[in-house]
């Protein structure tokens, strides 16, 4: 089973745009879920929505959560506390840049990496420089 990714953002447009990029990567096909924005389209994050996104993926091969900003991380941590322990054990919150981490995670998951390797790939992008 493939590792799934949950994209947590304060903006639904931002998360959906990232999902579009990820789905366009060669060999992608990785299960993706979005938990972004408030219920009326306002900016924000919701622990309940994040937990629901994780549950929608089933976590068969594990799930990596990537969040855009600090309060998204707090919402994700709250969501993890709400999950059934048998599911929670297969879900990991990445300490990684939102876009670069998601791209690295999708590439690793698409190559068949396990959840630990997908998490490591996402977190390895923390030091990636874009300019020499």
Structural domain that includes position 105: 4-127
pLDDT score recorded for residue 59: 66
Per-chain mean pLDDT for the chain: 93
Query: Facing residues of 82 across strands?
Result: none
Q: How many CB atoms lie within 10 A of CB 87?
A: 16
Q: State mean pLDDT over 19-29.
A: 89
Q: What are phi and psi of 63, to 5 degrees?
A: -135, 140
**66 vs 63: CA distance, rounded Å:** 10
CB 91 within 8 A of CB 82: no
pLDDT score recorded for residue 114: 96
The strand ranges marked E within the chain are: 4-9, 32-36, 63-67, 91-93
Q: State mean pLDDT over 105-115.
A: 95
Q: How confident is the model at residue 75 (pLDDT cuts 50, 70, 90)?
A: very high
* Residue 66 scores a pLDDT above 90: yes
**64 vs 7: CA distance, rounded Å:** 9
pLDDT score recorded for residue 65: 98
Q: Kindly state whether residue 59 falls inside one of the protein's structural domains.
A: yes
Active site residues: 10
Q: Kindly state whether residue 104 falls inside one of the protein's structural domains.
A: yes
* Residue 1 scores a pLDDT above 80: no
Task: State how many domains the chain has.
Answer: 1
Q: Kindly state whether residue 132 falls inside one of the protein's structural domains.
A: no
User: Which pTM does this prediction carry?
Assistant: 0.94
CATH of the domain at 115: 3.40.50.510
Q: Kindly state whether residue 15 falls inside one of the protein's structural domains.
A: yes
Query: Facing residues of 64 across strands?
Result: 5, 92
């Amino acid at each position: 089973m493939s590792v799934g990714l949950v994209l947590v953002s304060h903006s639904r447009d931002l998360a959906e745009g990232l999902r579009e990029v990820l789905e366009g990567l060669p060999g992608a096909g990785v299960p993706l879920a979005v938990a972004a924005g408030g219920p009326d389209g306002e900016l924000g994050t919701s622990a309940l929505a994040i937990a629901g996104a994780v549950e929608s993926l089933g976590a068969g091969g594990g799930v990596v959560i990537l969040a855009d900003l600090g309060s998204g991380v707090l919402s994700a941590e709250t969501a993890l506390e709400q999950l059934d322990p048998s599911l929670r054990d297969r879900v990991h919150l990445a300490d990684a840049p939102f876009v670069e981490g998601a791209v690295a995670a999708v590439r690793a998951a698409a190559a068949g990496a396990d959840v630990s390797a997908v998490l490591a790939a996402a977190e390895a992008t923390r030091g990636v420089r874009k300019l020499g």
